[in-house]
Amino acid sequence: MQPPLSADSAVTTIPSNLYGMALLNDPLYNKGSAFSAEERAQYGLAGLLPPRVETLEEQVVRAYEAFIDSESPLQRHIYLRQLQDSNEVLFYRLLSEHIEEMLPIVYTPTVGDGCRRFSHIYRRPRGLFVSYPERGNIRQILANRPNKDVDVIVVTDGERILGLGDQGAGGMGIPIGKLSLYTLIGGIHPSRTLPVLLDVGTNNPRRLADPLYIGWRHQRVTGAEYDAFVEQFISAVELEMPGVCLQWEDFAMPHARPLLNRYRDRILSFNDDVQGTAAVVLGAILAAINVTGRPLIEQQIVILGAGSAGIGVADYLRAALVGKGLSELEARARFFIVDKVGLLHSHRYDLTVEQAIYAQPWDNVAAWAKGDACIIGLSDVIEQVNATILIGLSTVGGAFKQSVVQTMARKVDRPIIFPLSNPTSLAEATPEDLMRWSDGRALVATGSPFAPVDFAGCAIPIAQCNNVFIFPAVGLALAACKATRVTDAMLIAAAEALGRCSPALRDASESLLPHLENARRVAARVALAVALQAVSDGVAPAANEEQLRQRIAGAQWLPAYS
């Protein structure tokens, strides 16, 4: 279970300038009906609240009833967002007590609908919109942030929201949701987080034609103009918030890795789609191979999807293979990556530098091609390779066909199959089908939440490969250890720590990843591994394990009234 909530981590003293309705309208300091009689007199609240003074626990009961009464997931998402905008302590306390039920509403998969409908469900401003027409005024925009001391920024340009594509200004739902999890699970104080939307336009015709669209109604800025705009933003961040951690989120492939590479050695930053996804998948894979008993260096890995997430996963798995003793060439040979054109191989001249690393030598795979087009599809690869691991990051719903899964299951006793695309409708296969097609032998983790699968009289839990097990812990570690950079070794350390937390290590029939009710405790363990690696990498001040453990515990805010 999670550690008990403690008043020791309550919000700070109410500022003297907050009085009457101004206090009730401030989500960080508002207690609503929980203000005591003394506080009501002190802060001019007499008559503005019902006479009964309630406890936080009583408020949670009422808030949960309102949540349950909401008719659809989207309505529940809207309700929780409104609660967050009115009383953050109550919001986070409610989530902490119903985390498994509410995480899919606050974040994936419901946040996808929230982004598509963002302009229609918009109620109250949160975060900063930095639009291209205001590019000469970015520092002043950052200076307008509601809270001056910020530990973590999550920034997106809205171009690749989950698997839904370009949502323009609606992409702001993702930074808001991500930062909620930084607080809920990592314990970062909500006042020290800042969601940011870089509004460079949208190429989504539905958004452009929507009369209620709240973003800049313009085609996307590209090329040198786009790069210059991002540079202006980063320069302003350096001046206004030196040392802040910046998480790049849901940038399209042409921008995701170039931006990461351009700025990773200049500012404290990482890309959750590239590095966070890779780390959580690596953690789940390490847990799965412990169940199979087959070591990592014996795995043959097929990945469907060669975007930033797919290549990021391959990079971390490759690093882990090299760490186990394989050479670079030997490690690369274990990967068979398929995109919408087919297998990446050396006769393809459309590959990026990052993709080309995993191109199979054409001479080794030429016989697999059917016809004269040099195209080798997923089914061809599965027929030819004794694949032990199949990972989907393609955003193509149903891409793992029955024939593919059954062919794989004939060759390996416990196939490891991860359909990771979000939201649920874009998953490459459902866990139920995977279990049925593999006679219950598949080890499954998914990108979106799925209920346990009933098979042969047993309820088989399905792990959700959710980045929530990684990025909140990384943010917590960075705040606690005062790191100046994020290294890949730090993310790999996070993955290894997550793998060590797997319930399947104690019971092979259990989930590959921890239960969400334990996410906060797991975050502290993962954060410690990240902080230790940061010190080892020389990007954080010297500290021993006990010092870091204490700093991490001290950095975790818990929702309670003062």
Q: For 449-495, write each residue's pLDDT tens digit.
A: 899 999 999 999 999 998 999 999 999 999 999 999 999 999 999 99
- Asked if pLDDT for residue 7 goes beyond 80, the answer is no
Q: Is residue 561 part of a domain?
A: no
Task: Check which CATH number belongs to the domain holding 363 and give it.
Answer: 3.40.50.720
For residue 235, which amino acid is it? Answer: S
**What's the rounded Cα separation, in Å, for the pair 108 and 172?**
14
Q: Which tens digits make up the pLDDT trace of 15-67? A: 989 999 999 999 999 999 999 999 999 999 999 999 999 999 999 999 999 99
Q: Output the pLDDT for position 264.
A: 96
Q: Is residue 416 part of a domain?
A: yes
User: Residue 242, preceding bond cis, omega within 30 degrees?
Assistant: no
Is 29 in the same domain as 158? no
Residue 422 annotated as part of some ligand binding site: yes
Whether 135 is covered by a domain: the verdict is yes
Residue 374's pLDDT is 83
Judgement on whether residues 80 and 130 belong to the same structural domain of the protein: no
| pLDDT score for 287 | 97
Q: Band of the pLDDT at 12, cuts 50, 70, 90?
A: low
- Which tokens go with 215? 């973003």
Is residue 249 annotated as involved in ligand binding? yes
State the number of CA atoms in the 13 A half-sphere of 6 facing the CB.
10
Q: Please tell me whether residues 439 and 315 are part of one structural domain.
A: yes
Residue 145, domain CATH: 3.40.50.10380
Of 83-87, 354-358, 371-375, which range is least confident? 371-375
CATH code of residue 22: 1.20.1370.30
> Is residue 137 assigned to a domain?
yes
Mean pLDDT of the 389-414 span: 97
- Residue 125 domain flag: yes
User: Which residues are paired to 301 by β-bridges?
Assistant: 335, 389
Indicate if the pLDDT at residue 508 is higher than 60. yes
Q: SS3 of 156, please?
A: strand
Which of 459, 476, 500 terminates a domain? The answer is 459
Q: Would the pLDDT of 11 be above 90? A: no
Estimate to the nearest angstrom the gap between the alpha carbon of 321 and the chain centroid.
24
* CA dihedral over 270, 276, 278, 283, signed as positive or negative: positive
* Residue 562 within any structural domain of the chain: no
Residue 408 has pLDDT above 70, yes or no: yes
Q: Is the pLDDT of residue 10 over 70?
A: no
Q: What is the average pLDDT value for the chain, to the nearest integer? A: 95
Do 122 and 60 belong to one domain? no
User: Is 350 annotated as belonging to a binding site?
Assistant: no
Locate 264 and state its tokens: 């990773």
pLDDT of residue 2: 36
Q: Is residue 327 part of a domain?
A: yes
Q: Are residues 292 and 239 in the same domain?
A: no
- Kindly report, residue by residue over 249-303, the tens digit of the pLDDT: 999 989 999 999 999 999 999 999 999 999 999 999 999 999 999 999 999 999 9
Residues whose CB falls within 8 Å of the CB of residue 58, separated by 6 or more in sequence, listed in order? none
Side chain identity, residue 164 = L
Residues 42 and 162 in one domain: no
Final residue of a domain: which of 239, 267, 295?
267
pLDDT-derived band at 562 (thresholds 50, 70, 90) equals confident
| Separation of alpha carbons 338 and 306, rounded Å | 7
203 annotated to a ligand binding site: no
Q: Is the pLDDT of residue 9 over 50?
A: no
Residue 560 maps to a domain: no
**Which of the residue ranges 141-155, 218-232, 361-375, 535-549 would you say has the lowest mean pLDDT?**
361-375
Q: What is the DSSP code (8-state) at residue 182?
A: I
**Same-domain pairing of 124 and 237:** yes
* pLDDT, tens only, 197-247: 999 999 999 999 999 999 999 999 999 999 999 999 999 999 999 999 999
Q: Between the CA of residue 500 and those of 267, 270, 425, 522, 531, what are the distances in Å?
A: 30, 23, 31, 10, 17
Do 417 and 369 share a domain, yes or no?
yes
Using pLDDT thresholds of 50, 70 and 90, give the confidence band for residue 322. very high
CA 445 to chain centre: 15
**What is the residue range of 225's domain?**
98-267
Q: Looking at the predicted structure, is the pLDDT value of residue 113 above 80?
A: yes
| E strand segments, 114-235 | 128-131, 152-156, 193-199
- Residues recognised as catalytic: 107, 178
Assess whether 367 and 435 both reside in one domain.
Answer: yes
Share of the chain above pLDDT 90, in %: 93
Q: In this structure, are 242 and 284 located in the same domain?
A: no
163 and 294 in a single domain? The answer is no
- Count the domains in the chain: 4
pLDDT over 70 for what percent of the chain?
Answer: 98
Domain boundary (59, 92, 125) is at 92
Q: Give the position of tokens 């606690």.
A: 480
Query: What is the pLDDT, as a whole number, of residue 177?
Result: 97
Positive or negative: CA dihedral 77, 83, 84, 88: negative
Dihedral sign for Cα atoms in the order 490, 271, 525, 280: negative
> What pLDDT sits at residue 3?
38
Q: Are residues 280 and 407 in the same domain?
A: yes
